Structure 1
Amino acid sequence: MDIYFGGSIRGGRSDVDLYAAIIDLLEDHGTVLTEHVGKENVEEKEAEVGLTDADIYEQDLTWLRRADVVVAEVTTPSLGVGYELGRAVAWGKPVCCLYRPDGDHDLSAMVRGNGDVEVIEYETVADVEADLAEFLRGH
């Protein structure tokens, strides 16, 4: 199974360690196409390789098209992740959003209100493991 993982990059990297832990869980179920989201200094590494914004856009859409499922951590709002979610839903991809309700922002009604998006609320990575595994087994 190819898994697209989305998490805030330019909107804030305070959750990078959390992203890495979630990616570790996802790797038990398939190939995470976007494991770089869980790494420190991802923007600097993209710049070192010479990736333009257009390159990143095309690369991410290629991975998104290839993915069997999309999982996103949406506690930190991100325009890019929101765009990815919209495209994934439009393409009929199964989408699961992970959200910590104790965060600084309420989850958008555009995500929570979308019947094509499964939302899992959690506090710790251990809390989400079983529900995430169930979502992945169902797709």
Structure 2
Amino acid sequence: MAINNPYKAYQNNSVTTASPGELTLMLYTGSLKFINIAKKAIEEKNVEVKNTNIQKAQAIVQEMMVTLNMDIPMSNELLPLYDYINRRLMEANIKNDVTILEEAEGMLTEFRDTWKQAIQINRQQQHGGQRQA
């Protein structure tokens, strides 16, 4: 019999009840977490942890690439940026280069922050519309 883990249950519930916008925000946050772990691992010369976490960050970026709705014009601008980040993550992994990871981290941070603002604006508009009704 498995022991119930309340934190794991909360995490699973957070993902299953999140809106698509919130899921995207979680992906950005996850990729940044893995990059930070990889940076620390490079400094500690822990190749295995570095490799695993860069690959996790890459998997998230690749997932974001394949799930873009290419009918939306903005997606045509995001795809090459995601591809660039993915290639830089590969290069950072090969070269054990924290500077390259920081470049990818900076770009993903900007995406995350912009996405967070978009969610907040959308919520304000939805709640504002409900008050007027």
Query: TM-score normalized by structure 1?
Result: 0.28
Instruction: Report which of the two has the higher share of strand.
Output: 1
Query: TM-score normalized by structure 2?
Result: 0.29
